[in-house]
Amino acid sequence: MAHQGDGDLPQYAAIGERLIEEFEGVHAAETVSRCVSAARYGAEEVTGSAPSELVERIARRHLEVLATVAAEKRRRARRSSLDNAP
């Protein structure tokens, strides 16, 4: 199924490359690519178009939230392991 903007895939690839570099060591490249794809399709669904600036902003925010959640899980895991120390 073709989606609006399929001919503009290089611009979305460039977004993915920028975000992969920005979130290196935080998220796997596959996670970043999925976020860019989800942002693109989400923008198309909600607004009827997917300008690259909007897609990048949505994907970046999603990746930031995922990083925050992961950091909080790590923090809680460290605290709970310390609580069980003799």
Contacts 24+ apart (CB under 8 A), 40-46: 40/5, 40/12, 41/3, 44/3, 44/4, 44/5
> What pTM does this model have?
0.79
For the chain, 86 residues long, give each residue's pLDDT as a single digit of tens: 344 444 457 889 999 999 999 999 999 999 999 999 999 999 999 999 999 999 999 999 999 999 999 999 988 888 776 665 55
**Whole-number Å distance between alpha carbons of 11 and 15:** 6
Rg of the Cα atoms in the chain: 17
**Whole-number Å distance between alpha carbons of 48 and 6:** 13
Alpha carbon distance, N-terminus to C-terminus of the chain: 59
